[in-house]
Structure 1
Amino acid sequence: MKFRLVPALLILVVMAVTIRLGFWQRDRAHQKEALEAQIERYEAAPPQTVSAAPLALAGIQFHRVRATGTFMPDLAVYLDNRPYNDQPGFYVVMPLKLQDGGYVLVNRGWLPRNIAERDRIAPYDTPAGPVTVEGIARADASRAFELGAGGSAPHQKIRQNLGVASYATETGLPLQPFVIQQTGFLPAAKDGLVRDWPAPTTGVERNYGYMLQWWGMAAAALGFGLYAARRAATKARTQVQENPPKQAQAQDSQAQGKQAPKDA
């Protein structure tokens, strides 16, 4: 079976790239599995105290945290398109002024949306005095798909998404670079908000799926290359059988010429 150089090189390049991408997806899956194990350890660890001292997002994300301060309801933002049990609603996000003067955003929980009047916010309670909030440090208050940035424009009560850095610039508050996903607070009281948070997922299954897809493409490229080479070889043999080489034809002609006198 003969291989043509250029097609063979192209197939080898495709195989090398797809195999490498498959290994890259596998490595990403392993990293996410390590992160999931880390998150489980954080859940069992005691909460870290949040104060005015700046904390790096990389060092605090997914950790249990505790912060004491006073909510600032005048600066509340309602994140739209956050369904819960197939019911549309908002996430209620507002700053917490810490006792030592710092600030941190708190995702307080879910609130159902008025179907008839989107801008009408259902009543909920906000403690007037100091409270101690407990929760999980997250990079943001969740992200929802949006077209452009119109749904997250500054100075709107109802938005699609809220970035910590942009909100700090908008309000002038020296916010910590994370959001506390509230799980409870002291003194305990009912405030009308739902805090049944979905478990954090890293999408490791998606990476394994992509890994198999890339390796499947490499196998398909190999199979196609072998099929094309075999088909080309079969075609070449058929042409040789149907059209013998000129040298063989000449030899046959000479042989027939030598035999002619004897036949005469």
Structure 2
Amino acid sequence: MRHWTFVFHRRWLAYFAAAVIFAVACGFLSNWQHDRGLEAQHANELVARNFDSDPVPLTSVLSSTHAYSPNQQWKRVTVTGVYDTADQYLVRNRANDSGPGLEVITPMRLADGSVFLVDRGWVPSPDSGVLPKSVPAPPSGTVTAVVRLQPSEPVLRGQSVDGHSVGTINLPTLAKLIGGDVYDHAYGQLDSETPRAANELTPVVSDPPVADTGMHWSYMIQWLIFAAIGFFGLGYAVRLEYRKQVEGDPSFVRRDSERDAARAARRAARRAKTDAAIEDQLLDAQGR
């Protein structure tokens, strides 16, 4: 045991502590990737459940203008009212496959006096300037729209209100700008409307998001492997140090010699057995 006492020296205790800290960090990162994977899985299940759900009245899903649950994202609801283009806002920096553009947020005033915000669709950015000179108008009069619910977006630094354009769909901000009893926790991405607009906008979303959990599960396992590698490396370093400690010790030199001799004897026995088997095969082939 005297050759192992070096593991209790301060330097090796520090190595062990570092390996433990590294393993704990890897464990936290693995757990984080696990949680990310569960979030992605939940998001996929939510899309599968809600994206093509049968439309139901808005008030049967949102009990008030301040109600919303994350499990209601993508759920299809019907809303009936009159579009108010006077308080229409454009959301900047909304690119899609066609290039840079903007999304059109139009308030719909409902029969009870409340206001629900509808993302009517996407328009391309103009060749010059930030905002287009005009936006296709929504249907006039009473309109029944089918929309997919979406949560309010966060406020982004530097994305301020500029006239009738905003940098993000932050519903509390838009509610203050529009005034009145505005749904400030959820808005709707337009799916269809009756009557239809004379010039329809490009839908923001027409197909469900691709179901993908990413590489989170793989990364979770990789972090656990990294933690194991840390301890393996420590064990390998300890063994190397132990070999240095016992180098030249007569008892260990003798033991190594005996072990090497035993290995050589086993190899010789295997070779002899193999040679004998070959000779037996040759004799059998010759009929002897």
- Partner of residue 82, structure 2: 70
Aligned residue identity for 1:19:
G
- Partner of residue 54, structure 2: 46
Q: How does 1:8-19 map to 2 (within 5 A)?
A: 8-19=16-27
Matched, 1:223 2:232: yes
Deviates further, 84-93 or 8-17: 8-17
Q: Take 2:178 and 2:190, find their aligned partners in 1: how far apart are those partners?
A: 21
Deviates further, 130-139 or 221-230: 221-230
SS at match of 2:51: helix
Matched, 1:37 2:56: no
- Partner of residue 68, structure 2: 57
CA-CA distance at 1:89 after TM superposition: 0.8
- Residues 108-165 of structure 1, C-alpha deviation per residue, up to 9 Å, x if partnerless? 1000111222233443122221111112100136x79x6x23x2x2353222212111
Q: Take 1:156 and 1:232, find their aligned partners in 2: how far apart are those partners?
A: 72
- Partner of residue 113, structure 2: 101
Q: How does 1:1-264 map to 2 (within 5 A)?
A: 2=4, 3=7, 4-51=12-59, 53-54=63-64, 56-58=67-69, 60-140=72-152, 148-149=157-158, 151=159, 153-154=160-161, 156-176=163-183, 177-197=185-205, 199-200=208-209, 204-208=213-217, 210-238=219-247
- Partner of residue 244, structure 1: none
Contact 2:26-2:224 at 8 Å conserved across structures:
yes
Deviates further, 174-183 or 24-33: 24-33
- Partner of residue 250, structure 1: none
SS at match of 2:16: helix
Deviates further, 126-135 or 47-56: 47-56
- Give the RMSD, CA atoms, in angstroms: 2.9
Aligned residue identity for 2:151:
A
SS at match of 1:199: coil
CA-CA distance at 1:189 after TM superposition: 3.5
Aligned residue identity for 1:154:
V
* Structure 1 residues 45 and 221: CA distance shift in structure 2, 3 A: same
CA-CA distance at 1:208 after TM superposition: 3.0
* Structure 1 residues 123 and 154: CA distance shift in structure 2, 3 A: closer
Deviates further, 77-86 or 23-32: 23-32
* Structure 1 residues 108 and 216: CA distance shift in structure 2, 3 A: farther
Aligned residue identity for 1:98:
L
CA-CA distance at 1:20 after TM superposition: 3.9
CA-CA distance at 1:196 after TM superposition: 4.9
CA-CA distance at 1:45 after TM superposition: 2.7
TM-score norm. by structure 1 comes to 0.76
Q: Take 1:214 and 1:76, find their aligned partners in 2: how far apart are those partners?
A: 49
- Partner of residue 261, structure 1: none
- Residues 4-63 of structure 1, C-alpha deviation per residue, up to 9 Å, x if partnerless? 333213312321331243134224313431342232122343212124841622153221
Contact 1:113-1:122 at 8 Å conserved across structures:
no
Aligned residue identity for 2:192:
G
SS at match of 1:175: coil
TM-score norm. by structure 2 comes to 0.70
Aligned residue identity for 2:139:
P
* Structure 1 residues 206 and 96: CA distance shift in structure 2, 3 A: farther
- How many pairs are equivalent? 235
Aligned residue identity for 2:163:
Q
Deviates further, 42-51 or 99-108: 42-51
SS at match of 1:70: strand
